[in-house]
Amino acid sequence: MTPRDDRHAATDDVADELADHLAAYHEALIAGRTGETPGASSRDTTRAESVLKLLEQARTPCVDEPDDAALAELLGDVLLESPSAGADAPPGDEPAPSKVGRFEIVRQLGRGGHGVVFLAYDPVLRREVALKLPRAAALLTKELRQRFLREAQAAALLTHPNLVPVHEVGEVGPLCYAASAYCPGPALDEWLADRTEPIDPRYAAELVATLADALDYAHSQGVVHRDLKPANVLFDAGRVPKICDFGLARLEQSDQTLTRDGALLGTPAYMAPEQDAGRSHAAMPQTDVHAMGGLLYERVTRTTPFQGETDVDTIHRVATQAAPSLRRLRTDAHRDLEAICLRCLEKDPGKRYASAGALATDL
């Protein structure tokens, strides 16, 4: 095990222990022992103090803050899985909170590495929304909490027909939430999995061109997504594709302190080499262009260009191997389409399209 692996393992241990402290507080709430404070980890005083501060915040009464029973329900939901659980675990049959602030929970839509998403009803504006709550880890550190809130801040800047709009962001006691427009789906990965026939390369090009145009607009507003993948492209009721989940978005003018060098952010199969090297702060519009190339490649061939046995293997392939020939897998694909796709997947950002708009134009 490398020194970096040792550090990551130690961090996971601390996160699990801190989650245990929060879970203990949850149990105390259920039992009515609201005066208890779980013990803190002596191995990480700073993080332990963050937990204690969070618990004190949970006890401090203020307007619209939940009572002990409601807080127990909310904490119980975000603690259903540990922070080290799979990033794309399918939604289960776990009990959901009945209400978050004014939002009435209908059912769980999904659970990812950064939060839990519910279908909820807003009785004030009388509409359904996708309500995202952070995972327990986002309650433990200032950085993770800021990263969660940044999704709404980034998306709220954007108004485009192919981007899912965020209606509002707020806090309920120790929890924060983001309410977005509800897209009934399916997600792009689900759409592809349900199809048995090959995807028409022309349709794949048109789809990615639409998404690239939306990204070009986001980039013009100073927002880089950094986690583009099929699961983050949803179809609305009219089958219009929309990019969602700006949880890892980079705000060009304000993100310099939120992501440390060495942090690995994104999904390995769709990450660019500069992300795989742990330099997520270096993400640029060409980083999203690389992900667009991966989406296009997968739509045409039904496989990702870089896929290893493990995430580590995939990361190595992204950094060191050229993408396999697209036309070797789809002989009916036009040579120009392959050239466009492989240009997106260049290792050197300078050799990719300079902008998502240029990619959209070529497609």
**Residues involved in catalysis:** 227
DSSP code per residue over 18-59: HHHHHHHHHHHHHHT-TT--PPPPTT-HHHHHHHHHHHHHHH
What span, in angstroms and rounded, lies between the C-alpha atoms of 341 and 290?
9
What span, in angstroms and rounded, lies between the C-alpha atoms of 123 and 65?
18
What span, in angstroms and rounded, lies between the C-alpha atoms of 272 and 13?
29
Residue (of 51, 69, 77) closest to 144 by Cα position = 51
List, in order, residues 6 or more apart from 20 with CB less than 8 Å away: none
H-helix or E-strand spanning residue 360: helix 356-362
- Where do we find the tokens 């952070």? 134
308 burial via Cβ count (<10 Å: 0-12, 13-18, 19+): middle
180 within 8 A of 155, measured Cβ to Cβ: yes
What span, in angstroms and rounded, lies between the C-alpha atoms of 284 and 287?
5
Computed from CA positions of residues 324, 329, 335, 341, in that sequence, does the dihedral angle turn out positive or negative? negative
107: phi then psi, degrees, rounded to nearest 5? -165, 165
Helix (H, G, I), strand (E, B) or coil at 350: helix
Computed from CA positions of residues 113, 345, 332, 359, in that sequence, does the dihedral angle turn out positive or negative? positive
The neighbour count for residue 35, using CB atoms within 10 Å, is 7
The residues that bridge with 180 in the sheet, in sequence order, are: 130, 166
DSSP code per residue over 48-72: HHHHHHHHHHHHS--TT---HHHHH
Helix (H, G, I), strand (E, B) or coil at 89: coil
